[in-house]
Amino acid sequence: MSLKMEAANLSDLKKRVELHEGKINKCYSDSLGKLTFGIGHLVTDEDNIDPNKEYSDEFIYKLFDKDFDKAIEGAARVCQGMDLPDRKFGVFIEMTYQLGATGLSKFKLALKAARDHQWEECHDQLLDSRWYKQTPNRAKQLAMIMLED
């Protein structure tokens, strides 16, 4: 089974990620004190980003596209072999965007529940997490998607 999404669903997902992340054209420290800018982009040494510069929307959206594609690839690796509806797979893509594939992979019980299509258990496991404590509104909204038909 290939984890792919319809283009319209991907577009909606990108809008939701941007809404949750926000867009800031200058560097700032995120909730964990890490240097971030754009649409939730964690700054790395390879980025060669000037923390005092304001970046154009064009630059930020190019980086967002790259980060979003990386999140899709990471979520697909973590969810390999699962038969997930688009909206539920989209939750894992957004979690990967926020936490990275390694972060998503730590949700072992939620992922097992999703693999078994035990959506209520998946929902409960997503909310029984440090992620929920750090970003409760986002976590609640995404966990609710697991309860949709």
Categorize the per-residue pLDDT at 3 as very low, low, confident or very high, splitting at 50, 70 and 90. low
In angstroms, rounded to a whole number, what is the distance separating the alpha carbons of residues 109 and 147? 16
**pLDDT by residue (tens digit) across 10-22?**
999 999 999 999 9
Prediction pTM value: 0.93
Fold for 7-145, please state it. Answer: Lysozyme (1.10.530)
**pLDDT by residue (tens digit) across 18-34?**
999 999 999 999 878 89
Segments making up each domain of the chain, as ranges: 7-145
Please classify residue 69 by burial: count the beta carbons closer than 10 Å to its beta carbon, then call 0-12 exposed, 13-18 middle and 19+ buried. exposed
List all residues 6 or more positions away from 13 whose beta carbon is below 8 Å from its beta carbon: 5, 90, 93, 94
In angstroms, rounded to a whole number, what is the distance separating the alpha carbons of residues 37 and 21? 10
**pLDDT by residue (tens digit) across 110-119?**
999 999 999 9
**pLDDT by residue (tens digit) across 54-74?**
999 999 999 999 999 999 999
Categorize the per-residue pLDDT at 6 as very low, low, confident or very high, splitting at 50, 70 and 90. confident
